[in-house]
Amino acid sequence: MSERHLNGKVAIVTGAARGIGRATALRLAKDGALLVLNYVANESAARELQALIRAQGGEAVVVRADVSVLSDIPRLFDEANDQFGNIDILVNNAGVSGRGAVSNTSEETYDRLFALTKGVFFTLQTAAERVADGGRIISVSTGLTRNWAVGAAAYAGSKAAIEQFSRSLSKDLGARAVTVNVVLPGVIETDMTSVMSPQMKEHARSQTSFGRLGRPEDIADVVAFLASDDARWVTGQLIVANGGSTP
């Protein structure tokens, strides 16, 4: 058991039901944080995660909210306040997939990706008002904004915008000692990458320094560092966590 250096801190994790969000929620709970587990569609997975956190001695509440629906965003923060009284950490992890070449990316796919990007912008805006002084705001982007790939234009573009939102916000919130950072994962073994062909996965694996794909816990540990007081001097940064992957 690690030192519980987040004891009493309240953390909202969006997209917490699976993948990186689930691993992040478990890690923050292990460190003593009180969790607000946000989900959109998979309530059973969110409830299972809540039960696991409680079984391990932590506390968590489950809140359904779709951050691409702007009216859901203040309600997510209101419920966190109602349950725990304050908000110290926001992890913007909600994501949707949408791979395709520029030539065959539909307007529907583009709008779905950028609706979430819009939602993240206004989630950041709300967090800027509601996160306590000395708090932490962490967003999850993608290594595809650095290691470009075929079929990733709209998806990577939607994430690149979040990186710039965050860098600018870090300047706005510095006077309150709130840090704002972004983690850029490489290819991680999650539901979102389960649709990749074996050939694509093998190529991604071969590009890392460790000869394996990332695991959700690899990213959760980076997020946990950024959420801690050890990262108090780290803000406005884009943290690449891709196992040394090269294009």
Q: Which two tokens mark 66?
A: 């779709």
Residue 9 confidence (pLDDT): 97
Indicate if the alpha-carbon torsion angle 226, 231, 235, 239 is positive or negative.
Answer: negative
Of the chain, the percentage scoring pLDDT greater than 70 comes to 95
Residue 96 confidence (pLDDT): 78
Residue 22 confidence (pLDDT): 97
Residue 98 confidence (pLDDT): 67
Residue whose C-alpha is closest to residue 112's, from 69, 145, 77: 69
Report which secondary-structure segment, H or E, holds 130.
helix 107-130
Residue 145 confidence (pLDDT): 87
Regarding predicted confidence, which is higher, 102 or 221? 221
64 secondary structure, DSSP code: E
Q: Which two tokens mark 3?
A: 């030192």
| Chain segment 168-215, per-residue pLDDT in tens | 999 999 999 999 999 999 999 887 676 678 888 888 889 999 999 999
Q: Give the global pTM.
A: 0.94
Residues designated as active site: 155
Q: Which domains does the chain have, with CATH numbers?
A: 10-241 (3.40.50.720)
Report which secondary-structure segment, H or E, holds 204.
helix 198-207
Query: Which of 61-65, 95-99, 184-188, 208-212 has the largest mean confidence?
Result: 61-65
